[in-house]
A and B are shown apart, each in its own frame.
Chain A
Amino acid sequence: MSTDGAQFMRVATRRGAAIAVEFDGLPLAATEGDSILAVLLTNGLILRRHEFGSEPRSGFCLMGACQDCWVWSVQGGRLRACTTPVADGMILASQPPAGPHE
Chain B
Amino acid sequence: MSSIVIVGAGPAGIAAAELLCSHGHRPVVIDEGERAGGQGYRRPSPDLALDMHALMGSEAGRYEALHRRFAALAEHIDYRPRTLVWAIEGRTLHLLYDGRAETIEADQLLLATGAMDRVAPLPGWTLPGVFTLGGAQVALKDQGCLIGRRVAFLGSSPLLLLAAKQYRQMGGTVAVIADTTGLAAKATALPGLLASPRTLLRGLGGMAGALRAGTPLLHGVTPLAIAGNGHVQSLLLRDAAGRERRFTCDAVALGYGLKPETQLADLAGARFVYDEAFRLFLPETDAFGRARPGLYLAGDGASIGGADAAEASGALAAHAILADLGGAPAAAEVRTLTRKLARLRGFQRSLARAFAWPASQIRALPDDTLLCRCESVTIGTVRAAMAQALGPIEVNRVKAMTRCGMGRCQGRVCGPALQEIVAGASGQDGAGAGRLRGQAPVKPIALSAAGESTP
Chain A positions within 8 Å of B, measured between CB atoms, are 3-5, 7-16, 31-35, 37-38, 41-42, 46-47, 50, 52-53, 55-68, 70, 76-78, 82-83, 85, 102
Contacts and interface: CB of A to CB of B under 8 A. Distances in A.
Contacts of B289: none
Contact of A65 (B139, B373, B409, B448): B409
B48 A12 contact: yes
Contacts of A82: 135, 138
Given A7-B128, A63-B138, 10 more contacts: A7-B251, A11-B146, A11-B170, A59-B135, A61-B131, A61-B413, A62-B135, A64-B443, A65-B443, A102-B446
Contact of A7 (B34, B44, B134, B148): B148
A70 to B, nearest CB: 8
Contacts of A47: 128
B105 interface: no
Contacts of A83: 34
Contact of B413 (A32, A42, A52, A60): A60
Contacts of A9: 145-146, 148-149, 171-172
B47 A62 contact: no
A33 B47 contact: yes
Given A12-B48, A61-B134, A67 B409 contact: yes
B50 A12 contact: yes
Interface of B: 32, 34, 39, 44-45, 47-50, 99, 116-117, 126-132, 134-136, 138-140, 142-149, 170-172, 230-231, 250-251, 261, 373-376, 407-409, 412-413, 443-444, 446-448
Contact of B39 (A34, A57, A63): A63
B143 A46 contact: no
28 contacts: A7-B129, A7-B251, A8-B145, A8-B148, A9-B172, A12-B44, A12-B50, A13-B48, A14-B144, A16-B45, A33-B47, A38-B139, A38-B143, A47-B128, A57-B126, A59-B135, A60-B413, A61-B135, A62-B135, A63-B39, A65-B261, A65-B413, A66-B132, A66-B408, A67-B444, A78-B446, A85-B34, A102-B447
Given A12-B50, A16-B47, A65-B116, A50 B376 contact: yes
Given A62-B138, A63-B134, A52 B376 contact: yes
A101 B32 CA distance: 25
Contacts of B140: 11
B413 A11 contact: no
A40 B126 CA distance: 18
B139 A8 contact: yes
Contacts of B136: 62
Nearest to B136: A62
Contacts of A53: 376
Contact of B49 (A13, A57, A61, A85): A13
Contacts of A78: 446
Nearest to A52: B376
A41 B136 CA distance: 13
Given A55-B126, A56-B128, A7 B147 contact: yes
A40 B372 CA distance: 25
